[in-house]
Every structure is written in C-alpha cells, then in structure tokens.
Structure 1
Amino acid sequence: MKFTDSPVIELSVSDTLLSIQQDNGSMHVGTSVWPCSLVLVKFAERWKFAAADTPNPYAEELLSFGNKRGVELGAGCGAAGMGLYLLGLQDIIITDIAPVMPALKHNLKRNKGALKKNLKTAQLYWGNEEQIKSLKPPFDYVIATDVVYLEETVGPLISAMEKLVSDKGVVLLGYQLRSPEADKLFWEMCCGVFEVHKIPHQHLHPDYAYEEADVYVLRKQNS
C-alpha cells in the first residue's frame, strides 16, 4: 500500500508544511512515499507536543532530540528525516542508494524554505563497510521506515543498524509487512541483536494510525 498515488504529498509537522514529490512512473520503490515514514513522524509529533497534563511515556527520553545525532537508512523521498529534523533532530544525515539520491536531493531542495537549511545526505549501501565508517558512527538515533521487503537485504540492514547506533541509542523503525520471508528473517535476526518494543497502536497519531503500519523501538541488548 502506498500512501497515495498523488504526485505530491503534503505533511504538516510542527506548524510547517512539507511538500514531497514522488515519481509514480519510476521502477524504484525508493521514489515513492510509503506510509510508515508518515506514521513515524506523526507519532513523534503527537508525543513531542502532548499537553502538559497528559501522561507522556516518550517525550523526555525517546523523543528528546536536542543535541543528538541521527542517521536515516533507505530514506527514499526523505519524509521521515525531514519530519524528525523539524521535531528537533537537527544533526541528521539522510541516506539511500545511488538510484534514489536524485529524488531525495530534489525533495530536500524543494523543502529548503521549510527546513531553513540544506540537510546532509550520503550514499549508503548497507553492506558497504567503508560507507558506514564514513558516516562517523555511533548515532543516538537510527531511523528506518519501510525498509524490510527483500530477504537478501535483511542481513546487511540489521548489521548496518547495529554498527551505526550507539550502545545507549535507539533505532526508530516504521514497519509494514511487505514480504513474509523477509519479515520472518528480519525478526529472527533482530531479536538476536536488539531488544524490541512495539509502540501500542493507540499511541500512534489518530490521523495516521494505519492498520498495516507499526512503530518499533530497537535497543542494543545488554546496553
């Protein structure tokens, strides 16, 4: 499920409107906006700005973005990275593979007025050790949304997450089942490396609580 076939998706984040262009004619999945990126951003926004009298299990620790470093994996059109930047994760590197970089850079340029700066980007193939090292890990936050859909990329993805996230950091994962085989392998491997916490569905933003999409928090075991 794509979010919409509309060529432009608008996402309001912290009173700022992002305008994200997708290419419905492309043969690459990275040039479309997938729902999990929006679900993750709006979850973070909901609890970042929850009313003072609302019990908030996330704001002080999980969503305390100030002076923290972040990296987004498989960013596609950049919706999640841009959204979390607007929510305070202002030291963030947004990454994807070479065929997707034109779409990513186009959308960052398209939203420069809203972002007030050029966000950092880098090419990253998850199995490329040199590219991982060049990002200068560790990071407080690793962001990944809708990245589990090919069985052969699961191992490199989890390895990259493990190498990039700090011992006390978190992986914020927007997830939707795309492939039963990839799904099974991902969670089998993930549970060998990370402690996995699923955000209760009722804690997602009510306007972005799609039945198919979930948000998970991954932390290194024994950290």
Structure 2
Amino acid sequence: MCRSGRRSSWIFFSANVTATDLPNVVPLIERNIAVNSDSILQSGGSCTARVLDWSEKSFDFIQADYILVADCVYYEQSVEPLVSVLQMFSDDKTIIYLSQEVRDYSLKQIKFWEDFHKTLLKYFEVTKIEKERQHQYFYSDDILLLELKLKEKSNNS
C-alpha cells in the first residue's frame, strides 16, 4: 500500500510504502528493504514491511492512495477475504492495480476467474489495462492487469 501525501506524486518517488504479506514472507521483504535502503532514502520516501493476513477482521492500517496487488489470486477461498481487505483499505480516491499471471486455462480456473471478476464488480469499477497502455518491454500475454476503483458506498450492495 502506498500513501504518497500528494496525488500528483509518482508512486515510487516520495511515497510511503507498506509492503505486506503473510508472516513467513515478511522477513524476506524486510531484507529487500534493507538492501535497497539507500535508494529508498534518496527518493524521499519510506518503506516498511507488515504482516497482513486476509482472514483477520481488524487492521490498524490507513486508507491507501495506491494499492498494488501482484499474483495474489490463486485459489477460490482467497477471493472474499482479498476483496474485503481491498475494500477496507480503499476510499473514493484509492487506485488499485492488480496483476495476475494466468497459469492455467482449465475449466475450473476459468470459472474461478469469472467468479472473482463478478465479486470485484460488486464493489469496484474494474478496467482492464490494455496492451497499448503497457510498457512494450514488460508486456506479456499471460499477465492480466486491472485497475480498480471503489464504487460509491451506496452502490456496494
């Protein structure tokens, strides 16, 4: 999650970033932050690592300006908790970028993705980021990129 302080700030410069994962992954994130500490300080921002378990019902995080979700949708039971967490950390100005590698084109996986997309649409405006908007060197046919914005609270039913 990223709190930039200014809407016009680019996410990587002068941003206060909170990188989250499950408890067993946080030490690796902390090591990565330590290795890159000079670059983080030079950018004028900060980066911290925190445990985030989607099954928890209470969090002491603030709303984020930007949320980056990378390869977090991998089994059916994760959909509702992930969508709930995204709602909790979003407000009407939050922009969420979700990237997911499509690894499996089985009927089961296709159904799962359809269900995930339907769940997202209940609470978020969802826009697919088309190839033309992606960097030419980093684009991949098997990676889906979505931009999400929280719908108005009265529409979230």
- 1:149 is aligned to 74
- 1:67 is aligned to 6
Matched, 1:119 2:44: no
d(CA) in 1 for partners of 2:116, 2:55: 15
Matched, 1:108 2:33: yes
Choose the corresponding residue for 1:95, options 3, 20, 24: 20
d(CA) in 2 for partners of 1:95, 1:190: 21
Matched, 1:197 2:127: yes
2:48 aligned partner, one-letter code = K
Q: TM-score, normalised by structure 1?
A: 0.57
Q: TM-score, normalised by structure 2?
A: 0.79
d(CA) in 2 for partners of 1:196, 1:113: 36
Deviation at 1:89, TM superposition (A): 5.7
**Does the CA-based 8 Å contact 1:66-1:88 persist in structure 2?**
no
SS at 1:192 equivalent: helix
d(CA) in 1 for partners of 2:21, 2:132: 31
- 2:87 is aligned to 162
2:65 aligned partner, one-letter code = D
Choose the corresponding residue for 1:216, options 146, 150, 154: 146
* Percent of aligned positions that are identical: 22
- CA, structure 1 residues 205+66, in 2 after alignment: closer, same or farther (shift >3 Å)? farther
**Does the CA-based 8 Å contact 2:33-2:48 persist in structure 1?**
no
d(CA) in 2 for partners of 1:182, 1:91: 34
Structure 2 segments unaligned to the other structure (5+ residues): none
What do you get for the CA RMSD once the two structures are aligned?
2.1
Deviations 1:40-95 (A, max 9, x none): xxxxxxxxxxxxxxxxxxxxxxxxx5525xxxxxxxxxxxxxxx75x326122111
Deviation at 1:143, TM superposition (A): 1.4
d(CA) in 2 for partners of 1:129, 1:67: 29
- 1:187 is aligned to 117
